Structures are given as structure tokens and as C-alpha cells.
Chain A
Amino acid sequence: MRDDRNKWPSPVLNDATRGDATRGEPTSAETETVSGLNITLSRIKLQRQVWVSGTSALQRFKCHSWPSITPGFKQAQAYSVCLRRDRVLLVNGTLMKDGWDAQLDLAITEVSDSYYVFKLVGENSLAVLRRGTEISLTTPSASAMRKLFGYDVVLYRTAEIEFCLHIDRANAESFWAHLVESIDNLA
């Protein structure tokens, strides 16, 4: 095998340890931040993320889709985002037991460590998103899942010109670079 340790630079985003709320560590401290023309990209940490799947999942949780504004985000309260016909992403919710809940007919998996979460704020946020896919505020969608720069992301709106992105942590490094490059291309 070829040794590519020098081909791929060390990751910019790096956290081997997430702040643990149970030990009184900060959980939503902003770490990495990049600013550009009327835009700020930052990495944020959320307290908890859980997938809940089932035929009743969408009704059970007041579920946000595109482009509705997710109010819970600002107050760091619990909110949920619609991913699929039968799956929601619960953010900052109560602790739930992983597995099949036979009472509620729900499949539950904690994914707090699966995602990196980024926030885009500013007038040019949509211009950055439009570099990654066809997207507009006038085309609603029941699901917050999209391909952006070819990557699967959860994308939703948290304020008028503020967006939140969840990306599988294994792809976060290159996805972050796409966002930074797009910010550089703003003009």
C-alpha cells in the first residue's frame, strides 16, 4: 500500500473528546470558525442527537422540514427535524434507550457522535449552499436530507438567514473544505 500520510493534510476539525454534559463540560461551545463576505461558518456542538424511526415518528414529534425555521435551536431546547417518511432526528431531547421500542413501535439509535454540526450565518449563506446543490427557499421539501457537494447532509433553517448542517463525521473534513472554498469564491 502507498503511504499517503503526506498527501492528506492533518484534519482541521479534530475532536477526540466531546464535552460531556454529565461531567459539567461545555457542550455547545463554538470551536472552529471561518468568516467571509457577509457570512460566518462555525462548528457547533449539540447536546444529543437521536434517530427515531417508525410509522408514527413524524406525528409524534413536531417535525421541521425545509425551509421552516426551527425555533428550538436558538434556545438550545429540544427540537426535531424530518429526515425520511418514517424517520426524525431528535436534537437535545431526553435520553432514550437504543433499540426497538415494542410499546411505541419505534426504532431508536443515538447518533450524537455520528455527526459534525456546522452553522452558517449571514446574507450569503444561501449563495454558499447554492454552490453545493440546487436549492431555494421557495422550493419546500418534506425532508431536511440533501446532497450538498455530493455529501449527504441534514440541512435546516434556524433563523431568517441562519442554517444548520449535520454531516457524517467521516466526511466532515472534506465537506468543511468545500464550504470554506465556497466562502472564498463569494463575490
Chain B
Amino acid sequence: MHMSRTHAGVQVNTDACFNFEFDGKTLQGCEGDTIASALLANGVVVIGRGFKYHRPRGVWGSWTEEPNAIVQVTLNKRTLPNCLATTTLLETGMQVKSVNAFPSAAFDIKGGLNLLRRWLGAGFYYKTFMWPNWHLFEPMIRKMAGLGAVSEQCFDDYVSDQLHETCDVLVVGAGPAGLVAARTAAEAGESVWLVDDHHTLGATHFYHEFIEGVAARSWIATQLTAIIAAGATVYSSTTAFGIYDHQLVGLMQLQGFAQAPRLIRLRASRIILATGAIDRPLLFRNNDLPGIFSQSAALDYLSNYGVSVGKRVGLASVHNADQVHDVFAKHAIEVVALNPQDEALSAIGRKQIQSVNTSTARESVDALVVCGGLTPTIHLWSHQQGGLRWQKNIHAFVPNREQAPAGLFVVGAAAGIYTLEDALSDAVHVAIGRASTPNLAAVSIPMPSAKTQNRDSQWIDVQHDVTVKDVDVAVQENYASVEHVKRYTTLGMAVDQGKTSNMLGLAALADKQKVSIPEVGITTFRPPFVPVPLVTYGGQHTHLHSKPPKRLVLEPTHRALNAALCEYGGWLRPGWYGDGRMDEHVQQEVLMTREQAGILDASALGKIEVMGPDARNFLNFVYYNRLDNLQPGHIRYGFMLTEGGSVYDDGVVWCMDEHRFLVSCSSSHVAGVEQLLESWRQDGNNPNQIYVHNATSQWATITVTGPKALDIVNALPLPIELNMAEFKHMRFLEATYQNHTLRIARVSFSGEISFELSVPTTQALMLWNDLLRIGKPLQAGPLGLEAMSVMRAEKGYIIVGKDTDGETMPHDLGFTGPRANKTAAFVGDRSLHTKTAQSSSRRQWVGFTVPKDQPMIPVGAHLVNGGDKPKSIGVVTSSYFSPTLQQPIALGLLEAGALRLGEQVSVWHMGQQSRAKVVSPCFYDVSGARLHAG
């Protein structure tokens, strides 16, 4: 094969040529080529295979409307499937592969499916593979139907940049109407953005030799110069892929092959769509053969790439046929004029077109150029539910200006204006915000219908292999709605999303139903206009940015102590200290704490200050427990409920003084609790009497827990000495430590005597080091969250969200007092007395034990009642091997559990059943002697 260019196209630099590969063959392309233009220049016509029947497929279009030419491309060891050959810029050394074809596009061993197509009609997948089970067929179908192979490469650098911008006027499309609109608006002093998805601006125009009396190319250059001079922002390779609420436009800016595109979220006061129109295919027998091109594509390849689609070209066009004829003739291309309405029109050829039959003759051709009408590109208009109107003389839906979405305008061919003069003057009016009623009656374009014969070889959607016959079948099977027909036949659901096939499908449906097209209606266009990589929407929020944990001030210290860092409720915290097996470290840390003391970084605990004259009453309202009688210096454990009565959070509340309280909620719920407090504060309370300050990050908290805790804390350089007889459980005090405030709270999650020591965060390291230094000779050391979790389970303390679910109410956990006795209103109060809340079969908090030699009960296991069909009556929420008790323990929620203490229950897990004994959830220090020691 050799390069055949009729002349140098404006977009390609024929002095800069290079090699690339297609299905293993080395070819030559030029700078400025797309993969499609280069293949055509090399005479490659068959580029892929149809999705279902594997018929040979060639290039039809020259841009995003292309329904066939999907290829897989490798460059610099980066492989991307699903590249559209018509829009992907060719680069040196690209290895291009056809897809849906094995071993190559020209020779496909599955081509035999073509012979089976009588049995592969509309709804084929639905009908055939339903029985007995789709999953039996799925692997085979997937293997046959895939669009290329997914690369196993992961591009770590494939991350999209994102920007937010604003402007007065956005013009989408740099054709003549778009250029005029952008220039007019920019020169009127508005901030204007002009974007076009093509790599070269102004290259979309090839119908007219002259515009406003000037050679088209120099007219375009003049407009662009003026637009830039007027201060507009102009971008090529930038697709407006969707319009979203409040005039936000998604712009995808290409960054080169296999580079993540940039996303610009542009907020425009006015959006002017100059998106042009797309050629419709023509329905006739074998209209899917390679070598059949849309009229606009043939002109594009000729004028922009210097590539002629053939030497003897058939032309069957309902629009501008004479003009096209002239252009071809000028380039010495022989044209065979054909009547697009000819009932006998059909294409002949095996792998590509060789001749056309008409009612009068058989003409041999090497290409066929067709135009079955124009479809205005109204996708963006429709994204915002802009009204449409059927324009009879051009057989097209056009935007109805009387039903325009806020800030949205449309000009040029996209508005159905097909004469240049009318389009330009209308664009000027629209650009300066003046009303304009363009004349859409100036041009008439007929709409040839499908031929009556050979309906199973007239292709509507060439990528999904949908024929006129398939639509006929769908109608016969009573699919009436256009949306149903679309899904049943898969018409318009291929990667081009019906850019070419949509109107043909509607026409075929109308034809078969014997109604008009507007009566059939139109399917809904949704963003994006072209495929957008998902990472583009995500931007930087990927990899380690997708859900980063909060970080502790002491993290470097924990790392130095060889801590395992795990995610707990959105925080990265020490799970245990040491390498190797987690279990051994956890067991050891539990025993250390029970016998000596453990030192735990509890900085993530919530520290929300609630202040003001109404603070006390407010907290009494948002908490389940009574807080109206909490004394200064005292701490109380309590629940926050939802209005539905379920437990939302547990924590402790400190009374610092009459007008100041500290809400120490669980670390994973700080943001939620703060939001809840703030919404109740402003909705239903007097916000001028209550203030909520979330000071969680201001304070670092280190917990010292265990029998030696008192000795350790008292060894700190403090002006006071703690005395357990006075400093009772659930009290706190403030002291000074190295010139900083130190809060000491006696609360416990382990069941041992515990002190939570809080200092301003930047002083945490000093305190931590002091505690570790003091603790060392006492065999006390750092304690991770896993060991703490085991100890709280031994003690029967819950973790909200782990041991509770959205139905758990406080009385299910044994906290019945406020429900029975609290007289003041509180959040969730009434919900605790509904029929459901009073049911005797509620799931209640209990413990489980198994004999020492049996394995642990898995978390998530169900508790079931007996019988042939066991039914779940509860679930295991926590399970550990207790190093203190030297046996497995578990906790969970069980129907009427409080009444079943001592009973045996069946435990069901993954089809296996075992037995466990229901016990009280507290396994350790039941009397509380250790906790209250003093």
C-alpha cells in the first residue's frame, strides 16, 4: 500500500510523515492525521467488525458521529481500548488494532455469524439466553462481543486536572455561526469562551468556498483573530459534553493520547450552541458495507486531510448534491450520481463496496457517498430539557426557542438553519441577546424511507447491528414506546449513542406504526455527549485521595514505635504495636493493661464545647439521658438518638460550668454529632443562647488505663496529687502541666481505672514521652485500639454502629431509665413508645460463650431458631478470644435476649450450625470493683 493524497489538506503536514502499525502492518501517516484519515490514505477500508454478526465494518464518518471505527491503540507501552479512529490524533509509532475481529479485521473467523443472522434478531439476547440462566451464556457472549481487550496496565498517572471557571458567554462550536456569535459577543465587551472539540479550529467547515464574499479559510482566520483580539478564551480539543443545573457546562479538554483529560466546570451566564448537524445514513440493502461514507465525512477527508474516499464514487444525497458533485469534480474524482429515493438502490461487495445496483443499471464504484438528511446536534439543548419542534420541510426536530432552558441559545445548523446567510445574521442577533426569528423554510430536505424489500439487510445502527427488520419485529411484538423499542433492539445504544441511527430508528418505527415521526417522539439525550473517562469526573480524588483518613499529631511517634496503623472511623490510628502476628501483640497488650497499665492515643475522641445560657437545657433535649442535674466537675455517659429512636452515638458529657459543657462523642461521629447539634440549635431552639464549638483538633488525649494508671499520672510534674477517694469515677479536673492546661477525666472503656489526659495538641508529644518514660519501669507501655476493643468487649461495652444497627434503641441495650422516667422532651422520645418499640421480640444486647476448646463464633453469624427452615433471630456483632478469661467470648443482638440468659442458641454461619450459650454481656469485673476502686 502507498500513500494516496489528492492534495495537502489544511490539517495535515505532508512534509512530516511517520510510521504506524495497523493489525501488524506498517503504514505511513502525517502530522495532523487522525487514525481514520491515515488508514483511508493507505487504502485501508475494513477497520472492524459488527458487534453481533461480525460483518466487516469501515469508516462512515469523520468525527464523533462515527459508529464503527473503534480501535485499540498502543503507544509508548500504554494501551487503550475503545479509541475512536476518527477523533484520535495519529502519533509516531502507534500500534493500532481492530477490535471485534479475530485475528484481524480483514479476516474474521467469526464472520460466519453473519450467516446465522436470521436467528439473531431483535431481543435475541433476551429471548435466547434467558433459559436456563443468562450466566451460563455470559462468558461466551462477553468474549465474542467485547470492544477490545481491557488492558491490565494501570496508569497511576492517569489523573485528571479539574478547574472551575466562569464566563458571560460560552459558544460551543467554531463553525461559521459559532465564530460570528463569539466575535459579536466578545466585541460587545462580554467575557467569552469559544470551545470546539476538533484539534484545529475552523476545520469543520467545508461546504462553502466563500463566506461573506471572502475565501472561506481566510474568513475563518479573520474571525478567530478578531475573537482573540477581543479578549475571548478560545480552546480547541475541548468538548462540551454536558450541560448541568444552573448553567454549568462540563468541558473535557484532551491532553494527548493516554493522558487523562482535564475537566473544566464552566459556569456561563449564557450558553450559545453552534454544534452543527450530523449527516444521516440512507437505508438501502447492504448500506453497512465498508466504503460507504457520509457526505460530510467524504468532504472532510478531502478538504482537511487531502484524502479521497475513492476514484469512482457513487453519490446518493438528498442535500447539497450539486455542490458536492462540483467539489469532487474539481479534484478529478469521477462521480456517479444516484437517486437516493430509488427503491432498487443497493450496494454490492463482500469485504467492501464494489458496485451499486439501481433500478436502471449496475455501476461499479470504489466508494459510495450518501446523505439521507441532516440531524441538528441538539444533545446539549436536550440535556436541559429544551423544547423541540418538528420542522417538516427539513424533516428534523429543531430546538423550539419558545421553550428554551434558562440561559441556553442555539444558532446555525443546530437550530435547523441551513443557509449560511440566515445562520450568520441570526447568530449576530442571538449573540447580543436580541430576539431573532430565523427562516427555517428556505431549504427543503426530503427523508427517504427504508426500502420495502430486504429489510433485514438495511442497517440502522451499524455498530449494534440493528436493521429495519429488527424494528419491524419489535413493533409486531407490541413494543409501542420509542424508549422500549430502543432498549429491545439496542438501537442507538452503541458507543456513538445513536448520533447517526437515532432518527433512522424513529423513522422506521413511525413507518411501521403508520404514524408521523413527531407522534413517535424522541428518546432522551443525557450527558455525556461523548464518552468521558470516569477519572475525569473524579479529578484528584482518586488513589490515596479518594478517602484519606484523618491523621494524628503523634503518628510519627507511633510509627517509630512500630505501630500497625489501621483505619478506625476515618482516622489512621495504632491498632497494635509491633511486627508480625496481630493476635499475639493484642493478647499481650490486653494482659499488660489488666496487670499493669496501657497508654493509648485517644486524640480522635470528640471534644465539642456547648456553651451559653441555654446549653444545659439544649443538651438535655438532644441527649437520651438526663443532663439537667449534671454537676460541674461531673461526667455522664449517654446516648444521642435519632428522632426515630435509634441510637446514633454514645459518649460522655462533661459539665465544665453552668454555661459550658463538653460533648465527648465517639471519634467516628464527630462531624455528624456537630451537625446534629447545629441543626437542632437553629431549628427549634434559641441560637443566640447556645453556641457549639467543635474543638476536637485543639486537644490531644492520651488515656492511661490499668491498675498502675494512678501511679503513672501522679508521677507527672503536676501541682496536684490525685486521690481516688475524692477523684471518683466519672469526674474530671483541670491541672497545669508544663505551663499548659491539662484536663484529667476519670472515665473508662477498658473496665480498669482510667485517666483521659488532654493537652493542647502541640503538647501531645511531650506528654506521651513523659507517660511512656514513667510507665516503662512499671511494665506499662503503648496500647493499640485492637486490645482496647477486646477489653471493652470483656466488659460488655458497645461500639455504636458495630454492635448496634439502625433499629437498636437504648432499652435494647439495657438503658431503660430515661425512657421510663425522663419528663423533659428529648430527641427520639416519642419513638421509644411505638408498638414496634414496645414489642417483646426486640433484639437485645447479650453475650455468648462457647466451651474453651471450641472455635470463636464468627462476627456476622446469625442466631437461628430450630426447625427445618431456620429463621434468624439475631446476629453476632463482636467476637474475640479473651486473654483475660482465656476463652472465646462474643456479643450480639438476640430477640428477647434478656429473657434467654442461660439458654443454648443455634449459631448459623455459611451453612454450618453450632451451639452457644446466652449470657450477660458483661464478662469481666461484673461488680465494678476495679472500675470504682478508690
Contact = CB atoms under 8 A, between A and B. Distances in A.
A and B assemble together: yes
Interface of A: 1-5, 7-8, 10-11, 14-18, 20, 22, 51, 53-55, 86-87, 99-100, 102, 107, 109-115, 127, 130-131, 133-136, 149-150, 168-174, 177-178, 181-182, 185
Given A1-B575, A16-B764, A173-B548, A149 B540 contact: yes
Nearest to A150: B541
A109 B609 contact: yes
A82 B97 CA distance: 59
Contacts of A181: 159, 540
A180 B705 CA distance: 41
20 contacts: A1-B567, A2-B567, A8-B544, A8-B565, A10-B556, A16-B764, A17-B765, A20-B739, A53-B611, A54-B691, A109-B693, A111-B697, A111-B698, A113-B698, A114-B695, A115-B697, A131-B540, A149-B541, A174-B545, A174-B548
Nearest to A181: B540
B568 A1 contact: yes
A69 B538 CA distance: 33
A169 B575 CA distance: 21
B563 interface: yes
Most buried by B among A7, A115, A133: A7
B564 interface: yes
A170 B697 contact: yes
Given A15-B762, A100-B657, A3 B693 contact: no
B166 A16 contact: no
B566 interface: yes
A71 B609 CA distance: 31
Contacts of B612: 100, 107
Given A14-B556, A113-B697, A173 B551 contact: yes
A135 B401 CA distance: 32
B559 A113 contact: no
B163 A130 contact: yes
B536 to A, nearest CB: 13
Contact of B161 (A4, A11, A113, A185): A185
B688 interface: yes
A18 B762 contact: yes
A172 B697 CA distance: 11
Nearest to B551: A173
A130 to B, nearest CB: 5
Given A113-B698, A113-B761, A134-B164, 7 more contacts: A4-B567, A10-B555, A10-B556, A11-B555, A11-B556, A18-B762, A170-B550
B582 A136 contact: no
Given A4-B572, A5-B565, A169-B553, A53 B762 contact: no
Nearest to A56: B688
Contact of A16 (B613, B696, B762): B762
Given A2-B566, A130-B165, A100 B764 contact: no
Interface in B565-579: 565-568, 571-572, 575
B691 A169 contact: no
B162 interface: yes
A175 B475 CA distance: 57
B760 interface: yes
B787 to A, nearest CB: 11
Contact of A3 (B557, B566, B687): B566
B786 interface: yes
* A1, A10, A87, A114 — most chain B CB neighbours (10 Å): A1
A100 B557 CA distance: 35
B900 interface: no
A109 B698 CA distance: 9
B586 to A, nearest CB: 10
Contact of A114 (B565, B659, B698): B698
Given A107-B693, A131-B161, A171 B550 contact: yes
Nearest to A111: B698
B656 A99 contact: yes
A11 B557 contact: no
A170 B604 CA distance: 9
Given A8-B544, A17-B765, A3 B695 contact: no
Contacts of A112: 698, 760, 762
A65 B557 CA distance: 38
Contacts of B265: 134
A127 B161 CA distance: 12
A185 B261 CA distance: 12
Contact of A100 (B161, B544, B575, B611): B611
B564 A3 contact: yes
Nearest to B759: A113
A4 B566 contact: yes
Contacts of B697: 111, 113-115, 168-170
A100 B556 contact: no
Contacts of A22: 739
A8 B551 CA distance: 10
Contacts of B696: 114, 170
B554 interface: yes
A111 B765 CA distance: 18
B564 A182 contact: no
Contacts of B691: 53-54, 86-87, 100, 107
Given A16-B765, A100-B612, A131-B162, A113 B760 contact: yes
Contacts of B564: 1, 3, 5
A179 to B, nearest CB: 10
A99 B660 contact: yes
A93 B691 CA distance: 21
Contact of A51 (B163, B565, B693): B693
Nearest to B566: A1
A181 B612 CA distance: 43
Taking each of A55, A109, A135, A171, which has the highest tally of chain B beta carbons within 10 Å of its own beta carbon? A109
A53 B544 CA distance: 36
Interface string B575-618: 10000001000000000000000000000000001011101000
B166 A102 contact: no
Contact of A134 (B166, B551, B613, B762): B166
Contacts of B486: none
A131 B564 CA distance: 34
B633 interface: no
Contacts of A5: 559, 563-565
B267 interface: yes
B381 to A, nearest CB: 24
B116 interface: no
B549 interface: yes
B766 interface: yes
Contacts of B765: 16-17
Contacts of B786: 1
A124 B267 CA distance: 20
A16 B556 contact: yes
Nearest to B574: A5
Most-contacted residue by chain A among B265, B697, B766 (CB, 10 A) = B697
A80 B557 CA distance: 34
Most B CB contacts (10 A, CB to CB) among A4, A14, A99, A113 go to: A113
Nearest to A184: B161
A182 B161 CA distance: 8
Contacts of B660: 99-100
B672 to A, nearest CB: 14
A100 B659 contact: yes
Interface in B162-187: 162-166
B309 to A, nearest CB: 38
Contact of B659 (A3, A99, A130, A169): A99
B190 to A, nearest CB: 14
Contacts of B613: 100
A145 to B, nearest CB: 13
B284 to A, nearest CB: 50
B565 A4 contact: yes
A109 B548 CA distance: 28
Contacts of B554: 16
Contacts of A168: 697
A7 B545 CA distance: 12
A130 B164 contact: yes
